[in-house]
A = this chain, B = another copy of it.
Amino acid sequence: MLNPNRYFDPDPATRRVARALYERAASLPLVCPHGHVDPTLLAEDAPFPDPAALLVVPDHYVTRMLYSQGVPLERLGIQALDGAAVESDPRKVWQLFADHFHLFRATPTGCWLTDELEGVFGISQRLESATAMAIYDELQEKLARPEFRPRALFDRFNIEVLCTTDAASDTLEAHQRIRSSGWKGNIRPTFRPDLAVDIRHPRWRAEITRLGEQAGQEITQFRTFVAALEERRNFFKAQGASATDHAVITPYTHELPDAEAEVIFTRALKGQASADDAQAFTAHMLMEFARMSVEDGLVMQIHPGSLRNHNQRVHQRFGSDRGCDIPVATEYTRNLHALLNKYGNEPTFTLVLFTLDESTYTRELAPIAGHYPAVRLGPPWWFYDSIEGMLRFRHAVTETTGFYNTAGFNDDTRAFPSIPARHDLCRRVDATFLARLVTRHILEEEEAHELIVDLSYTLAKRTYRLD
């Protein structure tokens, strides 16, 4: 089923160059500097339970599309927070998924799943109503085999390094179990202190308590809060972390006087922080985290612009990460002014910027990364981690920022078995983009061969300091 020329341009000359470039890249190890794989998966190395639990239920890219066409989430077996009964037969969930698989035509989810079914599980039938149960059975049978356990797949996938994403207060116990197990997979945590700085979040107070316990000192002041975070970063570094990550609605940065930060923090501890407090605090903490990165060398990532849980009915019933996060317009030039002016010229600092607002590619992000030594552009994120999305990104940013101010690929996924399909798609698309440059005589073919290795492998390693 999988055509060896898939995703390449149809023009024969361009396709020939793209194919050659892709072949140069295809067997390179996978570098995964940012993602959401649960490290427990690799700590326990248990068999995956069933096809629906593996490929449907936890994947909000899949379930949101079915939901958008009227399929209730209950029928997909997604647990309701109130414990109400939902579909519990994975075969029924799988059948429903197969019945709607045409919805994924020309979507990255469709590409990944097709590739995954054939590439990982050797299934070359098309998924549709009629084939659903046969495919289910074949998958189920394979999932029981040792060679389909997480660690075996990790090795088969040729993953050189995989970074997870972990809360500031995470014990990293799974990471420690992996290390002490003797298994040699290179799994690293990433420091993501979103909850720790979200002073109006219902669970913030508990996170502060936890951080205080970990620091061996109750956190009652902004200063001790900052010290506790610095200590956690050191702990993460000791466990292999090379980066931090920060999800914010807007990348607004602004340094507060010490006294003001202290006042806001105190109000927050009393549960009295206002929305303005929260905004000022986030802006100040981005400055603090940049300072810490300058000092400890952890690469700083910012993922802004997602309005989380837009659909409150779905959020209240099923919780977060259910496909109802909707992007908003995002401003970088003015918002990052304070941070870039203070730290953007620092040689020890790397800041990787992501966006859900593609109008900023040429207007703000490429000019910023094309000037500030600290800044690198993260790969197309989320909705844009796709054939067209990647092509738009490269076509938009390359002329202003070049290739070397981009950060290389990351798969950003919690769907572990989809990792090779995602890297493969990116390598094919980068090969296509480079081939378009070669056949238009903008780039020499030998330069393109050098670049495909950089884009597929080297840049990610270098940007995230994984070498």
* Contact of A326 with B364 at beta-carbon distance under 8 Å, contacts A310-B340, A311-B344, A402-B105 already known: yes
The answer to whether B341 touches A366 (Cβ under 8 A) is: no
The answer to whether B373 touches A442 (Cβ under 8 A) is: no
Contact residues in B for A64 (Cβ distance below 8 Å): 370-371
Q: Does A176 contact B (CB under 8 A)?
A: no
Query: Could you say which of A10-18, A77-85, A146-154 contacts chain B?
Result: A10-18
Q: Does A256 contact B (CB under 8 A)?
A: no
Partner of A10, one of B14, B323, B329, B387: B14
Query: Could you say which of A1-9, A23-31, A194-202, A276-284 contacts chain B?
Result: A1-9
Contact residues in B for A383 (Cβ distance below 8 Å): 362, 366-367, 399-400
Q: Does A167 contact B (CB under 8 A)?
A: no
Q: What's the minimum C-beta distance from A31 to chain B, rounded to whole angstroms?
A: 20
Q: Does A458 contact B (CB under 8 A)?
A: no
Q: Does A245 contact B (CB under 8 A)?
A: no
Interchain CA distance A165-B291 in the complex, whole Å: 42
What is the chain B residue whose CB lies nearest that of A386?
Answer: B399
* Contact of A333 with B327 at beta-carbon distance under 8 Å, contacts A106-B402, A400-B107 already known: yes
Q: Does A207 contact B (CB under 8 A)?
A: no
Q: Does A50 contact B (CB under 8 A)?
A: no
Q: Does A216 contact B (CB under 8 A)?
A: no
The answer to whether A68 touches B310 (Cβ under 8 A) is: no
Contact residues in B for A369 (Cβ distance below 8 Å): 68
Q: What's the minimum C-beta distance from A231 to chain B, rounded to whole angstroms?
A: 30
Of the candidates A8, A356, A389, A442, the one having the most CB atoms from chain B within 10 angstroms of its own CB is A442
Query: Could you say which of A41-49, A233-241, A416-424, A433-441 contacts chain B?
Result: A433-441
Q: Does A69 contact B (CB under 8 A)?
A: yes
Q: What's the minimum C-beta distance from A298 to chain B, rounded to whole angstroms?
A: 19
Interchain CA distance A126-B403 in the complex, whole Å: 19
What is the chain B residue whose CB lies nearest that of A436?
Answer: B10
Interface residues of A in 47-71 (CB under 8 A from B): 64-65, 67-70
* Contact of A10 with B440 at beta-carbon distance under 8 Å, contacts A103-B404, A362-B358, A388-B396 already known: yes
Partner of A441, one of B5, B400, B437: B5
* Contact of A398 with B328 at beta-carbon distance under 8 Å, contacts A65-B370, A440-B9 already known: no
Q: Does A208 contact B (CB under 8 A)?
A: no
Interchain CA distance A386-B401 in the complex, whole Å: 13
Partner of A405, one of B69, B375, B395: B69
* Contact of A441 with B3 at beta-carbon distance under 8 Å, contacts A347-B70, A388-B399, A399-B108 already known: yes
Contact residues in B for A368 (Cβ distance below 8 Å): 310, 326
Contact residues in B for A372 (Cβ distance below 8 Å): 68, 311
The answer to whether B356 touches A363 (Cβ under 8 A) is: yes
Q: Does A203 contact B (CB under 8 A)?
A: no
Q: Does A20 contact B (CB under 8 A)?
A: no
The answer to whether B395 touches A441 (Cβ under 8 A) is: no
Partner of A68, one of B69, B314, B401, B451: B401
Interchain CA distance A443-B64 in the complex, whole Å: 21
Contact residues in B for A371 (Cβ distance below 8 Å): 64, 67-68, 310-311, 323-324, 326
Q: Does A267 contact B (CB under 8 A)?
A: no
Partner of A326, one of B126, B367, B384: B367
The answer to whether B345 touches A314 (Cβ under 8 A) is: yes
The answer to whether B442 touches A6 (Cβ under 8 A) is: yes
Contact residues in B for A442 (Cβ distance below 8 Å): 6-7, 106, 111, 387
Q: Does A467 contact B (CB under 8 A)?
A: no
A interface residues with partner B (beta carbon < 8 Å): 3, 5-11, 13-14, 64-65, 67-70, 102-108, 111, 126, 307, 310-314, 323-329, 331, 333-334, 337, 340-341, 344-345, 347, 356-359, 362-364, 366-373, 375, 383-384, 386-389, 395-396, 398-405, 436-437, 439-444, 447, 451
Known contacts A68-B371, A70-B347, A358-B359; can you find 8 more A-B pairs with CB under 8 A?
A8-B440, A106-B403, A307-B333, A328-B334, A328-B363, A329-B331, A329-B359, A383-B399
* 25 residue pairs A–B, Cβ–Cβ below 8 Å: A7-B440, A7-B441, A9-B440, A64-B371, A68-B369, A102-B404, A105-B402, A106-B399, A310-B333, A310-B337, A310-B341, A311-B344, A323-B370, A326-B371, A327-B363, A329-B359, A329-B363, A357-B359, A359-B363, A362-B384, A367-B383, A386-B400, A387-B440, A388-B398, A389-B399
